[in-house]
Structure 1
Amino acid sequence: MSPASRAPAPAPETTFPKPTPRTVLQAVLGLGLAMAIIAFGLPYFADTTWAKIGTHLGSVGPASALELFGWMVLGLWCYTFTLTGSLPGLSHSKALMMNVSGSAVGNMLPGGGAAGVAVTYLFGRSWGFSRMAISTSIIVSGVWNVLARVALPLLGIVVLARDQTALPKSVRQGAFAAGVTALVVLAVFIAMVISDERARQLGGLLDRRVGHLLARLRRGPKKGQRLDLATVLQNQRSRLASVTAHGWFPMTFGVVGFLGIYFVLFWRTMEAVGVEIPLPKLFAAYAIGRLLTAVGVTPGGLGITEAGTLSVLVAWGAPPAPAAAGVLIFALYTHVFEVPLGLLGWLGWSLSPKVPPPD
């Protein structure tokens, strides 16, 4: 029986762990570094000034801003298919709350993926999902995300193959590294599904990375105790295979749709500030930027992503000041604006009916 079909009952207390001084310090340092890279790096890499960048920032009118916001929301909604496909019984509205809330938390911390996992666990448990179902969703959707993001530079290479301009060495190297990463992730996932020992090893890795966060989310006498994710993965290999077999299409649709719509958002942003370069090059720059979001030095790769994308755009002939304005506006929609949306997601979750989990 799915969680949605059970009658609501009084919910146990569910709260997110309070931030520790170390967490606050990491957030402050990470965001400070990101702001420094943006403040000094964008004019440097584009060989321009903030006065010129500001001129193009002001060229985006209300109609364009509203259109860009619409593309952002559509992309976020599209990703709900990945979450509902990986967690059967989850509605799209709840998936949207989970997605924007996890992104908001992750966007505030360097390497915020672990915090996003904690949000997924907290929300899922409060809606009545079992630990095994949630951990399966986290693993499968995570694999789908990694495969999609590292595949983007390879797709960019294919698209650019139709262009006569030689590819920069850094792009070729990045695409090669992404291809190797994709093969490694896929091999690990397949080995984990078919091998009990590989599942145990991956569970041990996850336990070291996020086990402490999940332990702090537990309630009652087990609060603070580790979940032993190695044992959890060993016990749910068949479930991983089942979710993958039945959910691969909606998960793929969600990830591809999300990244595709965000490319439209990137393209329309560049048009709004007056950047006109061939579409293949624009897509390749976008692909490199999406790959750089995985850099955990700053929250969500903020600053590093924009500097890298801007460098590629300028190298391929984009006018410096408009390109800098474009990557900055794109960052606002894909990173900054997700924070207030995340607050709305937290509000929606706090008002949603809670269901006691089965375990």
Structure 2
Amino acid sequence: MSYLPVAGEEWMERTATSRRGRLRRLGLLLAAVLVVAWAGHHLAEAGASWTAAWASISQVGWRWLLLLGTVWLAGLWVHTFVLDASLPGLTHLRALTLNLSGSAVANVLPLGGVAGTVLNLTMVRGWGHTNRDFARFVVVSKVWDVAARLMLPVVAVVALMAAGRLRPWPPWLGVAVLAAVAGALLVAASLGQARPLLRLVTLAERLARGASPGWTGAVAALLDGVDRLVRRRWRPLTAGMAGYCLSEGVLLWLCLTAVGVTVPVPVLLAGLAAARGLTLAALTPGGTGLVETGAVAVLIGLGVDATGALAGVLLFRGLVFAAEIPVGGIAVLLWLAARRRGDRPTPA
């Protein structure tokens, strides 16, 4: 017989679950750090010199930096078309503010995407949108972003095979195809064809018996009403995401060129696919460490000079990751200043 009230039992259960969750996240973070340390050591064994890489970056002139910064900002502006399409009534400037501020918070905290989302929710509500609008905005924008990251590896592998840089049917082609299928399922679900995705979620829920139930219902609730928005706005969503991926590819190519490395387009696609795909493993802030070592390893494996690949990827990440922190911080300060002045929200 239990002597604890039911509410007390529920509280203890929630506390234990929260403690297990924190320990699990800490364990994943520690594992990520160990993987990064191991990978960094092997990059040095492969001939990558960190000292020489930093020296190459330090020699990049101001004209190159100005060009790289311009391309980076242009890519962020192109991405605002995806955000605008995901939230009717959102302006490009506000979309850029959401992107930079959310990224700034997420890039400084382990698993900081939740904190960035909360900040963005506060902003959106202040601009006159509802919680429901924001939930749909997050689902649509994230679905198209994740789908693009999942589909890019198969494009890179096919390009490498066509260029003769990979033997026919390499072993990781299957992994790339599975990732692309997962991305296609996400897009199909956002267009109203959610049954295949929900079946997979139900299967995962049955396999994870020790996990919290209700995954299928939660996914179905998230997708509710999304298809009506996506069917109206799939063109700007697709064009904006394609333009953003292209801008990041151009930025990576320019970063490698700036440090004296020339790579063919298929190899560039492979490096970009690794850099974008590994950000999904958000065990560290923005995938720091995992993204850099993974992208450099892919480039080295495809014949790029080890030190040059390291320098180019570090320069690229300095823009798409590190630069977003101070610039996003400025965006947050400007938003706070406008909020303090009592600017009225724009009806959505």
The TM-score normalised by the length of structure 2 is: 0.77
Counterpart position of 2:291: 305
Amino acid at match of 2:89: G
Residue 266 of structure 2 is aligned to residue 245 of structure 1: no
Match for residue 258 of structure 2 among 265, 268, 272: 272
- 1: CA distance between counterparts of 2:54 and 2:61? 13
Post-superposition offset of 1:126: 1.1
Question: Structure 2: where are the runs of 5+ without partners?
Answer: 1-21, 206-216
Counterpart position of 2:209: none
Q: Per the alignment, in what secondary structure is the counterpart of residue 333 of structure 1?
A: helix
Deviations 1:13-51 (A, max 9, x none): xxxxxxxxx8xx97xx78x94996499448526423323
Amino acid at match of 2:330: L
Post-superposition offset of 1:312: 1.1
Higher relative contact order structure (alpha carbons within 8 Å, sequence separation ≥ 6): 1
**Cα RMSD (Å):** 3.5
- 2: CA distance between counterparts of 1:250 and 1:143? 14
Greater mean deviation of Cα atoms: 172-181 or 311-320: 172-181
CA distance 1:98–1:354, shift in 2 (3 Å) = farther
Greater mean deviation of Cα atoms: 245-254 or 123-132: 245-254
Counterpart position of 2:334: 348
Amino acid at match of 2:72: M
CA distance 1:53–1:69, shift in 2 (3 Å) = same
- 2: CA distance between counterparts of 1:240 and 1:318? 43
CA distance 1:88–1:170, shift in 2 (3 Å) = same
Post-superposition offset of 1:231: 8.8
Amino acid at match of 1:345: A
Match for residue 243 of structure 2 among 239, 257, 262: 257
Counterpart position of 1:294: 280
CA distance 1:45–1:267, shift in 2 (3 Å) = farther
Deviations 1:247-266 (A, max 9, x none): 21222222111111011000
Counterpart position of 1:15: none
Correspondences of 1:101-116 after superposition (within 5 Å): 101-116=101-116
Post-superposition offset of 1:325: 0.7
Counterpart position of 1:85: 85
Deviations 1:288-313 (A, max 9, x none): 22101111211111111110111111
Q: Per the alignment, in what secondary structure is the counterpart of residue 303 of structure 2?
A: coil
- 1: CA distance between counterparts of 2:85 and 2:72? 21
Q: Is the 8 A contact 1:125 1:357 kept in 2?
A: no
Deviations 1:41-65 (A, max 9, x none): 4852642332322332223111101
Q: Per the alignment, in what secondary structure is the counterpart of residue 147 of structure 1?
A: helix
Post-superposition offset of 1:314: 1.0
Superposition misfits of 4+ residues, deviation over 6 angstroms: 192-195, 230-233
- 2: CA distance between counterparts of 1:298 and 1:317? 28
- 2: CA distance between counterparts of 1:169 and 1:122? 47
Q: Per the alignment, in what secondary structure is the counterpart of residue 229 of structure 2?
A: helix
Deviations 1:220-259 (A, max 9, x none): xxxxxxxxxx69975983x422211222122222211111
- 1: CA distance between counterparts of 2:288 and 2:62? 25
Q: Is the 8 A contact 1:45 1:311 kept in 2?
A: no
CA distance 1:329–1:105, shift in 2 (3 Å) = same
Q: Is the 8 A contact 1:106 1:113 kept in 2?
A: yes
Question: Structure 1: where are the runs of 5+ without partners?
Answer: 1-21, 206-229
Amino acid at match of 1:95: A
CA distance 1:263–1:131, shift in 2 (3 Å) = same
The TM-score normalised by the length of structure 1 is: 0.74
Q: Per the alignment, in what secondary structure is the counterpart of residue 280 of structure 1?
A: helix
Post-superposition offset of 1:348: 2.4
Amino acid at match of 1:60: V
Identity %: 32
Amino acid at match of 1:89: G
Q: Per the alignment, in what secondary structure is the counterpart of residue 161 of structure 1?
A: helix
Q: Is the 8 A contact 1:193 1:240 kept in 2?
A: no
- 1: CA distance between counterparts of 2:85 and 2:34? 34
The number of residue pairs the alignment matches comes to: 305
Counterpart position of 2:6: none
Deviations 1:199-233 (A, max 9, x none): xx99xx9xxxxxxxxxxxxxxxxxxxxxxxx6997
Correspondences of 1:13-92 after superposition (within 5 Å): 33=33, 37=37, 40-41=40-41, 43-44=43-44, 46-92=46-92
Counterpart position of 1:135: 135
Amino acid at match of 1:176: V
